[in-house]
Structure 1
Amino acid sequence: MRLPSTAHTSRPWRIHEVAPDFRLEDVWAMPTPGGPDDLAHLVRQFAAGRGGTGERDGVFADSPVPRLLFALRWKLGKWFGWDSPDGGLDARVATLRDRLPADLREAPRGPDLPSAPFTSVYQLHDEWAAEIANRTMHGVMHIGWVPDGSGGYRGQMAVLVKPNGPLGALYMAGIKPFRYLGVYPALMRSIGREWQERAATRSAG
């Protein structure tokens, strides 16, 4: 379920001080019910390659429309050179880890996503941030762990971006309808299915 921006901005996340110049694009409630200490399970789910961010990791294996959209995106990126190494982290832009205050730099970094181009920035008990950069934008996927209003907890995903000039602004505007109508709803469903499967395995174990 898509949430208002205040669901992210009203919380004292550390990402606010790390990326104040990034624009908040999306906030989504994640179908991952759990206890107060379960963010680590969700982070491991992402790192395992399910519940990631695109067709590359198979998260849309049963969702043909998002799978087609991501296949088209990777193809366009290859044609126009959007995803070339010289447009990424530590090339076109510096990693956000260079901005971290001492306590975050000394905290666990968190896992990178092996089959999606996200690099972890930091991981805390209730907050995890990973970044991506290409020639269109520098983006952050922020996963927070929040009370669900009924005594439990769940994940909350926020997407923050810094578009790269006019090209980046045009790119973000162009993909907005596809994100809302096809990509994010399918992504949330896939994350929820995987979460339930993993929760059942943990309970059985």
Structure 2
Amino acid sequence: MRLPRTAHTSRPWRIHEIAGDFQVEDVWALPTPGGPDDLPHLVRQIADDEATVSSPVYRLLFGIRWKLGRLLGWDKPDAGIGARVRTLRDRLPADLREGPRGPDFRSGPFSSVYQLRDEWAAEIANRTVHAVMHIGWVPDEEAGGYRGQMAVLVKPNGLFGALYMAGIKPFRYVGVYPALLRAVGRQWQADSGERSAG
């Protein structure tokens, strides 16, 4: 379920200290009901990204995006983190820099920035945008317990990046996010026994 931006901005996340120059693009409630200490399970699931990759819609849309990126040079190494933009890890205060970083994606282009008990941030950069995927673990007031919440923060690369973000918006809402949320929810349910076992 899509949430208002305030669902992210009103919480005391540490990401606000680090990515204040990024805009909150999207906020979503994740179908991941759990207990207060289940964020590490969700982080591992997302970083492993098998659930996401198995969705045919997601694979199709991202396959098109990566082909365009290769064709137009959007994803070359000189456009990424450490080249076109500095990693957000360079902005971390000492306590976050010395704490757990969290896992990088197994097959995706995101790099982990930091991980805490209730939040995890990973970043990506290319010629179009520098973006952060922020996963928070929040109380679920409707169902009781806790659940994941995903926010996407972006810093478009100039006018081209802003036009790109506007151009892909319908595809994100109609194809990418619904497929992603379904896949995350299915995998979360499939892994429920593993979480219960500890």
Using the size of structure 2 for normalisation, the TM-score is 0.96
Q: How does 1:1-205 map to 2 (within 5 A)?
A: 1-52=1-52, 58-60=53-55, 63=56, 65-149=57-141, 150-203=143-196
**SS class of match (1:11):** coil
Alignment check: 8 A CA contact 2:41 2:195 kept: no
Alignment check: 8 A CA contact 1:18 1:99 kept: yes
From the superposition, tell whether residues 79 and 104 of structure 1 become closer, same or farther in structure 2 (CA, over 3 Å): same
From the superposition, tell whether residues 24 and 51 of structure 1 become closer, same or farther in structure 2 (CA, over 3 Å): farther
Structure 1 unaligned runs (5+)? 53-57
Residue 44 of structure 1: how far off its partner (Å): 1.0
Alignment check: 8 A CA contact 1:50 1:191 kept: no
Give RMSD over aligned pairs.
Answer: 1.3
Report the equivalent of 1:55.
Answer: none
Residue 204 of structure 1: how far off its partner (Å): 5.8
Distance in 2 separating the partners of 1:92 and 1:165: 12
Distance in 2 separating the partners of 1:191 and 1:122: 21
Alignment check: 8 A CA contact 2:33 2:148 kept: yes
1:104-126 CA-to-partner distances (Å, cap 9, x unmatched) read 11110000002000000000000
Q: Could you tell which deviates more after superposition, 77-86 or 66-75?
A: 66-75
Distance in 1 separating the partners of 2:123 and 2:54: 19
Distance in 2 separating the partners of 1:16 and 1:51: 29
1:93-112 CA-to-partner distances (Å, cap 9, x unmatched) read 00000000111111100000
1:50-89 CA-to-partner distances (Å, cap 9, x unmatched) read 345xxxxx242xx3x3332211111100010000000000
Structure 2 unaligned runs (5+)? none
Distance in 2 separating the partners of 1:119 and 1:3: 25
**SS class of match (2:108):** coil
Distance in 1 separating the partners of 2:86 and 2:197: 44
Residue 49 of structure 1: how far off its partner (Å): 2.6
Alignment check: 8 A CA contact 1:59 1:187 kept: no
Aligned residues: 197
Distance in 1 separating the partners of 2:158 and 2:191: 41
